[in-house]
């Protein structure tokens, strides 16, 4: 599979996580840890799609900060997405451990931010063809 095809596949998979986020607005049904996990997954897949579209290899990591750094090294404008770094903890720490997440996520704002990242990557993929 070419890097471009892989980027398209990652973005398609990210869209599924984003669709799940839109269905998880009710915090009484979906715990923040579950919502946060899908946000983290969507963010991770979008960033990896962006890196793949640059024809670069991305590190096998869940660390959003590291993925943003790779994009930054390739002179991509990522400053608008720096606040998404906080979702890295949802990949493992809040999902697979006894730690409890003691804050409340603003789900609407989270969805807006993840949608903005998805749209940015989608536009990049379209314009770089």
pLDDT for 98: 52
pLDDT for 4: 86
pLDDT for 104: 82
Q: What is the mean pLDDT of each run of 10 residues along the chain (129 residues)?
A: 90 96 94 92 97 92 96 97 94 62 85 98 91
Q: Are 53 and 125 in contact (CB under 8 A)?
A: yes
pLDDT for 59: 87
- Residue span of the structural domain in which 108 resides: 3-127
For position 43, which CATH number holds? 1.20.120.330
Q: Give, for 64, the enclosing helix (H) or strand (E).
A: helix 64-73
Please name the residue that has the structure tokens 């579209």.
Answer: 53
pLDDT for 3: 85
Q: Looking at the whole model, is its pTM more than 0.85?
A: yes
Number of structural domains, the chain?
Answer: 1
- Would the CA dihedral through 70, 71, 73, 77 be positive or negative? negative
Q: How far is CA 116 from the centre of its chain?
A: 10
Three-state secondary structure call for residue 60: coil
Q: What is the 3-state secondary structure (H, E, C) of 1-44?
A: CCHHHHHHHHHHHHHHHHHHHHCCCCCCCCCHHHHHHHHHHHHH
């Amino acid at each position: 599979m070419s890097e471009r095809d892989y980027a398209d596949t990652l973005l398609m998979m990210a869209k599924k996580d984003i669709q799940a986020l839109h269905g998880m607005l009710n915090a009484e049904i979906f715990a923040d840890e579950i919502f946060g996990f899908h946000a983290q997954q969507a963010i991770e897949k979008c960033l990896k799609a962006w890196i793949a579209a640059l024809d670069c290899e991305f590190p096998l990591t869940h660390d959003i900060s590291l993925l943003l750094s790779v994009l930054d090294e390739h002179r991509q404008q990522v400053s608008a997405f720096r606040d998404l770094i906080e979702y890295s903890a949802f990949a493992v720490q809040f999902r697979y451990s006894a730690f409890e997440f003691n804050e409340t996520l603003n789900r609407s704002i989270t969805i807006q931010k993840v949608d903005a990242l998805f749209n940015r990557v989608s536009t990049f993929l379209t314009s770089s063809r």
